[in-house]
């Protein structure tokens, strides 16, 4: 057979030849979190959260940025749902501010808080948008932090009580519930390194907070099974760890980093045990947990949410607690938050997840990137204002393609929530990091759909065909 001239085509041309249709029923949406968009943190009887306190503590956030106004969503929620409808979203992942519902964290219920989220859910449903509700996205009531917060084993009962109030009020209209958003970040950021609220830096506290978060997760799932009729899951941030070299030390560093971020929460939640590396990592700071705790933690789940942003090329190096660290890639593309754009990592991660935990349904509950966006300036032919953000569109396209590859390889990915619906408060980094597919002018609160948002609308309308 004469050697056929190999058809050379560019990756883009190859991509254009690929059929990107996603499975029927694949759920397309976008995500936010209460503290990052709502503003009005103390309105209508709400109590302060640890983020209300942390952000008002001098030096804790960039430029002293707080969530006092944010995107003013607490007042503009109906217009924002209209924006979601204009984008053609099929789903919207949001979180509830615990201290709006229970101002002291337990006990007295603030009906105005429930009413706000009830109205939001009804407006979503009226616009054919499915709500995905996250109970906890980092904003613990300050009153509970005063009682030890996640360091107090009573937090499991507190969290189950809070979840039960919302299950009774909203279940049926809300059919997909999430207990915790990213226990890893809550622990690593809030209790080990201190970069996030409540700002502790204590290697003995971190494993205790982490374990109690998972106990609280289990208690909230147990409570749901007694009250709810639909689905509940856990959301984790995980990232693939690749060895910087072929050395034995780097391989060991990868094992530690992988156990610390990727297995520390999925193992107890799905397998009922911790990876053995955690004892090595924390040493004398790793407690002996009561065996019955793991029976509470390992509750059957309807899905796992995976938040994916980047990978880590990892080497052995002196650092606490891992003695491992990321190596910058000289030829890599990086976002404004310093994360390498590496979509293949998402495919690799999803294949690992299936191989390790089996066929539990997966939603990509966050994926997105902060890039410097040009100001809202020019307009398109129809006179609509534009925000040209090609890097974000490329990021989203590449990661959706990576998900498509994982689905083709048999991973049961059920949906995708772009992070984020709109530019918002990036925690300690303030308002300078923009992840939205919709631009927010914080001076006027004007929203402008970015080019990435317009592109995403076309992708949703074509069920992936326009990728
Ligand atoms: O940083 C972007 C988003 C953030 O706005 C979300 O509230 C949060 O759920 C979220 N989690 C990650 C994943 N990784 C991460 C790693 C270190 C620190 C903070 C987040 C990114 N993001």
What pLDDT does 139 receive?
Answer: 98
4: pLDDT confidence band, cut at 50, 70 and 90?
very low
Ligand 1 atom 21, closest CA: 309
Q: Is the CB of 158 under 6 A from ligand 1?
A: no
Q: What is the pLDDT of residues 116-136, one digit of tens each?
A: 999 999 999 999 999 999 999
Mean predicted confidence (pLDDT) in 58-82: 98
Which of 122, 107, 110, 120 minimizes the C-alpha distance to 38? Answer: 120
Q: Which residue, by CA, sits nearest to atom 2 of ligand 1? A: 426
Cα-to-centroid distance, 308 and ligand 1 (Å): 9
What pLDDT is attached to residue 380? 79
Give the span between the Cα atoms of 424 and 109, in whole angstroms.
Answer: 28
Average pLDDT score over residue span 421-445: 98
Residue 37: pLDDT band with limits 50, 70, 90: very high
Q: State the residue for tokens 């990435």.
A: 452
* Confidence at residue 210, expressed as pLDDT on a 0 to 100 scale: 98
Locate 45 and state its tokens: 């009887």
What would the mean pLDDT of 99-105 be, rounded to a whole number? 98
Question: How confident is the model at residue 17, as a pLDDT?
Answer: 58
Name the more confident of 117 and 8: 117
Does the pLDDT value for residue 8 go beyond 50? no
What does the DSSP assignment read for 261-330?
A: IIITTHIIIIISS--THHHHHHGGG-----HHHHHHH----SEEEEE----EEEEE-S-TTTSEEE---T
Q: Which residues are catalytic?
A: 182, 366
Q: How far is CA 464 from CA 110, 205, 249, 367, in A?
A: 42, 44, 42, 16
Residue ID of nearest Cα to ligand 1 atom 17: 185
CB of 360 within 8 A of CB of 269?
A: no
Pocket flag, ligand 1, residue 181 (CB < 6 Å):
yes
Q: Give the rounded distance of the alpha carbon of 60 from its chain centre.
A: 22
Cα 314 to Cα 43, 166, 332, distances in angstroms: 45, 41, 14
Reduce the DSSP state of residue 240 to 3 states and report it: coil
- What pLDDT is attached to residue 20? 79
Tell whether ligand 1 has an atom less than 6 A from the beta carbon of residue 423. no
Asked if residue 185 has its Cβ within 6 Å of ligand 1, the reply is yes
- pLDDT at position 45 over 80: yes
- Model ipTM over 0.95: yes
- For residue 230, what pLDDT is reported? 98
Report which of 141, 236, 222 is spatially closest to residue 186, judged by C-alpha positions: 236
Lowest mean pLDDT among 98-107, 155-164, 367-376: 367-376
Which of 11-15, 36-40, 219-223, 427-431 has the weakest average pLDDT?
11-15
d(CA 52, CA 57): 9
* pLDDT higher than 80, residue 3: no
Rounded average pLDDT over 347-362: 98
Q: What is the pLDDT of residue 14?
A: 58
Q: How many CA atoms, within 13 angstroms, populate the side-chain half-sphere of residue 264? A: 34
Write the pLDDT tens digit of every residue in 157-214. 999 999 999 999 999 999 999 999 999 999 999 999 999 999 999 999 999 999 999 9
Ligand 1 atom at minimum distance from 237 CA: 13
Report CA(368)–ligand 1 centroid distance (Å).
10
- From the list 52, 72, 42, 19, the residue with the least C-alpha distance to 442 is 72
Task: Take residue 169 and report the two structure tokens written for it.
Answer: 């009020």
Average pLDDT over residues 147-166: 98
Ligand 1 atom closest to the CA of 420, numbered from 1? 5
Residue 13 pLDDT exceeds 70 = no
Closest C-alpha to ligand 1, atom 16: 185
| pLDDT over threshold 70, residue 279 | yes
What's the whole-model pTM score? 0.96
Residues 6+ apart with CB under 8 A from 266: 236, 238, 304, 353, 356, 357
Instruction: Read off the DSSP letter of residue 376.
Output: S
Question: Is 237 close to ligand 1, i.e. is its CB under 6 Å away?
Answer: yes
In the predicted structure, residue 429 carries a pLDDT above the cut 80: yes
Q: Which run of H or of E encompasses 166?
A: helix 155-170
Does ligand 1 lie within 6 Å of residue 365's CB atom? no
């Amino acid at each position: 057979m004469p050697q056929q001239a190999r058809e050379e085509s560019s990756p883009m041309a190859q991509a254009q030849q690929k059929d990107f249709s996603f499975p029927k029923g694949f759920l397309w949406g976008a995500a936010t979190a209460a503290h990052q968009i709502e503003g009005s943190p103390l309105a209508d009887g709400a109590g302060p959260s640890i983020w209300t306190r942390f952000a008002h503590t001098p030096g804790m956030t960039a430029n002293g940025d707080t969530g006092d106004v944010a995107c003013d969503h607490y007042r503009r929620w109906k217009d924002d749902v209209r924006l979601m409808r204009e984008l053609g979203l099929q789903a919207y992942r949001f979180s509830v501010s615990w201290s709006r519902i229970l101002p002291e964290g337990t006990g007295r219920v603030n009906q105005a808080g429930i009413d706000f989220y009830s109205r939001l859910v009804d407006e979503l449903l009226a616009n054919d948008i499915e709500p995905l509700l996250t109970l906890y996205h980092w904003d613990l009531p300050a009153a509970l932090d005063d009682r030890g917060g996640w360091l107090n084993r009573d937090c499991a009962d507190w969290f189950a009580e809070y979840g039960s109030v919302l299950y009774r009020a909203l279940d049926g209209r809300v059919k997909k519930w999430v207990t915790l958003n990213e226990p890893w970040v809550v622990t690593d950021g809030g209790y080990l390194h201190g970069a996030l609220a409540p700002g502790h830096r204590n290697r003995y506290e971190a494993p205790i907070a982490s374990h109690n978060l998972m106990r609280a997760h289990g208690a909230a799932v147990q409570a749901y099974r007694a009250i709810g009729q639909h689905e509940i899951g856990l959301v984790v941030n995980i990232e693939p760890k690749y060895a910087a070299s072929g050395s034995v030390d780097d391989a060991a560093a990868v094992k530690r980093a992988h156990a610390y971020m990727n297995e520390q929460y999925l193992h107890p939640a799905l397998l009922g045990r911790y990876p053995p590396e955690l004892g090595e990592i924390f040493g004398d700071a790793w407690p002996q947990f009561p065996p019955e705790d793991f029976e509470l933690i390992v509750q059957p789940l309807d899905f796992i949410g995976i938040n994916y942003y980047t990978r880590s090329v990892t080497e052995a190096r002196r650092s606490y607690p891992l003695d491992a660290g990321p190596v910058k890639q000289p030829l890599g593309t990086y976002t404004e938050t310093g994360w390498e754009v590496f979509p293949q990592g998402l495919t690799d991660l999803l294949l690992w997840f299936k191989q390790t935990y089996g066929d539990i349904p997966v939603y990509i509950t966050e994926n997105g990137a902060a890039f410097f966006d040009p100001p809202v300036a020019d307009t398109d032919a129809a006179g609509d204002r534009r925000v040209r953000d090609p890097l974000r569109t490329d990021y989203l396209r590449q990661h959706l393609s990576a998900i498509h590859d994982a689905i083709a390889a048999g991973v049961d990915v059920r949906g995708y929530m772009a992070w984020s619906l709109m530019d918002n408060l990036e925690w300690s980094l303030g308002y300078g990091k923009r992840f939205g597919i919709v631009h927010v002018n914080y001076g006027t609160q004007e929203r402008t759909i970015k080019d990435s948002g317009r592109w995403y609308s076309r992708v949703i309308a074509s069920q992936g065909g326009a990728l």
